[in-house]
Structure 1
Amino acid sequence: MVEITEKEFKQLTEYVKKNYGINLKAEKKILVMGRLQSVLLEKGCNSFTEYFEYVLGDKTGQAVITLIDKISTNHTFFMRESGHFDFLKEQVLPGLKESVHEKDLRIWCAAASTGEEAYTLAMILDEYLGPEKLWWDKKILATDISQSALEAAMSGIYSDERINPLPSRWKENYFRRYDGKNWIVEERIRNEIIFRKFNLMEQVFPFKKKFHVIFCRNVMIYFDNETRDLLVDKFYDRLESGGYLFIGHSETVNRARTGFQYVMPAVYRKN
């Protein structure tokens, strides 16, 4: 195994934090070293210094994509923190249905990972709007920094075990058998989602219109306080007045410096 020195670890983690916001603490050293071993072997790098030089020198951008894919934690599942989805159905959507102009409902799943959250949102919208759905512009934007996670999301293929938490009516209405062990999301639901690779550390969010709902759950736990505060500011700016921000239950918003109003655990609203 190629060992990573303190200097190399510092160099690599500072680059990742500056460009992608991920704060890799000292206790992640062994994890980083382990996850990147196969890449070093494949590229013939005898040290992490050589590997870092390779990443910086790669003009195709593929090297940094692989780096982020390796060190990112893309753990999610259907109905994660299900209280958020109940609140969305029972409180948020009825209000938006009455207040949204020209039936143009905009939802952003800002850390889509392998797609479970985005598809859950699409199924909730389909069920809630029912026949009226035809008259609504309700596509969901789903972004993530990891290319491999996005590719898995776009496929819409999930195992029996992974769709097990879903209501039985959803399995019947929104999935079909893909093979002996897997299911695939129905095409009409997959078509409701726009998947894009996006780095939340971009200085400017290039969206023409503001969102009514933003889900960004269990991402900011990897950021330091300053990075998290700046991201929350950008979310606030990209939300319509009265819009909602959903974050992870292990995450917080610094209410002393933001205009967000606390609604319930891990749910905030723009005044």
Structure 2
Amino acid sequence: MVWSLQTAPALSDQEFDQWNKLLEERTGVQVLPQQRAFLQTQIGMRMRELGLESYNHYYEQVVGGLQGIVEWSILVDRLVVKETSFFRHRASIDYVRRLLQSRIDNKSLDDSFEVWSVGCSTGEEPYSLAMVVNDCFELAGLDPYYGITATDISQPALQYARQGIYNERKIEPLALDERARYTQTLGDGRFQISDKLRDRICFSHGNVLNIAQMPMAKMDVIYCQNLLVYFRRWRRREILNEMITRLKPGGVLVIGLGEIVDWDPSGMTRVTDDGIQAYIRS
């Protein structure tokens, strides 16, 4: 039987540990035992494409030389989780809206309003944030004075996000007025996010394990949801502790509900709202 038509061989315990360790070292993501089949399937599919039959042979190819760098970038795109949607947790995004609106109302917005979407995947999250931020400026009759930095470890996901083209099923979470103001119809059931939003977002490659190495301005909002759950608890705290150093005074960190429960950083106050999990820097 031709290898490309065969079922992927089973990962041995040693091979599973070897691949899991590599993924966690390079991305922070931990594959749980119940996710073993997913890891095996994704690696096996790539091995079939390359005509390889040995997990160890492929492993040596991934970790070796310049070719390994290229091969890793292909493989990691298949292994990292990219599930996302527009306004996935609308309560958290509406909190960002209220934060900006209060600053406009109080005339305390002295500088550009800067937002960082961490683990932006294919772009739905930063575009959702851009919609509510742009709403605030337009309703106040102000020139849009904001920028959104969106980072992800997956280069293909970032390329998709930059285009800002989605099918009708993807944009279903948008309210009708949001769809009318912020998308244009391309035909064939496809919609593209408007230029006025796409021009405000900088999509960049970034690994949360290397936040300290990312050149980035201080942020008014750091928005990081549905990412930390894939890391060990101690690593979640390390990542969050590094993130808050990137906040302006009064800046806000927004994470997913319950993504961390034992974190009480100095100089940060949790927002008193049971529907979201956010922290304000003193």
**Match for residue 122 of structure 1 among 104, 114, 130:** 130
Deviations 1:192-245 (A, max 9, x none): 100001000016142342111000100000000111010010011111121111
1:199 alignment partner AA? N
1:204 aligns with 2:215: no
User: Where does residue 133 of structure 1 map in the other structure?
Assistant: 143
User: Where does residue 33 of structure 1 map in the other structure?
Assistant: 40
User: Where does residue 60 of structure 2 map in the other structure?
Assistant: 53
2:117 alignment partner AA? C
Tell me, yes or no, if the aligned pair for 2:119 and 2:150 is still in contact at 8 Å: yes
**TM-fit CA distance, 1:41:** 0.9
2:74 alignment partner AA? T
User: Where does residue 94 of structure 1 map in the other structure?
Assistant: 101
Tell me, yes or no, if the aligned pair for 1:35 and 1:70 is still in contact at 8 Å: yes
1:237 aligns with 2:248: no
Q: Which structure 2 residues correspond to residues 39-78 of structure 1 after superposition, within 5 A?
A: 39-60=46-67, 61-78=69-86
Instruction: Give, in whole Å, the separation in 2 of the partners of 1:241 and 1:122.
Output: 22
State the TM-score, normalizing by the size of structure 1.
0.93
2:20 alignment partner AA? T
**TM-fit CA distance, 1:62:** 1.8
User: Where does residue 174 of structure 1 map in the other structure?
Assistant: 182
Instruction: Give, in whole Å, the separation in 1 of the partners of 2:182 and 2:211.
Output: 37
**TM-fit CA distance, 1:259:** 3.7
Q: Across the two proteins, how many residue pairs are aligned to each other? A: 267
Tell me, yes or no, if the aligned pair for 2:237 and 2:263 is still in contact at 8 Å: no
User: Where does residue 269 of structure 1 map in the other structure?
Assistant: 280
Instruction: Give, in whole Å, the separation in 2 of the partners of 1:9 and 1:15.
Output: 10
**TM-fit CA distance, 1:74:** 0.5
What secondary structure, in the 3-state scheme, does the structure 2 residue paired with 1:24 have? coil
Instruction: Give, in whole Å, the separation in 2 of the partners of 1:40 and 1:126.
Output: 45
Instruction: Give, in whole Å, the separation in 1 of the partners of 2:88 and 2:151.
Output: 18
**Match for residue 145 of structure 1 among 139, 143, 153:** 153
Segments of structure 2 that go 5 or more residues without pairing to the other structure are 1-7
User: Where does residue 12 of structure 1 map in the other structure?
Assistant: 19
Tell me, yes or no, if the aligned pair for 2:101 and 2:136 is still in contact at 8 Å: no
**Match for residue 29 of structure 2 among 2, 22, 28:** 22
1:171 alignment partner AA? R
What secondary structure, in the 3-state scheme, does the structure 1 residue paired with 2:53 have? coil
Deviations 1:53-85 (A, max 9, x none): 111114152211112111111011111111112
Change (3 A) 1:203 1:114: closer
Percent identity, aligned pairs only, is 26
Instruction: Give, in whole Å, the separation in 2 of the partners of 1:93 and 1:239.
Output: 15
Instruction: Give, in whole Å, the separation in 2 of the partners of 1:16 and 1:41.
Output: 20
Tell me, yes or no, if the aligned pair for 2:236 and 2:260 is still in contact at 8 Å: no
What secondary structure, in the 3-state scheme, does the structure 1 residue paired with 2:279 have? strand
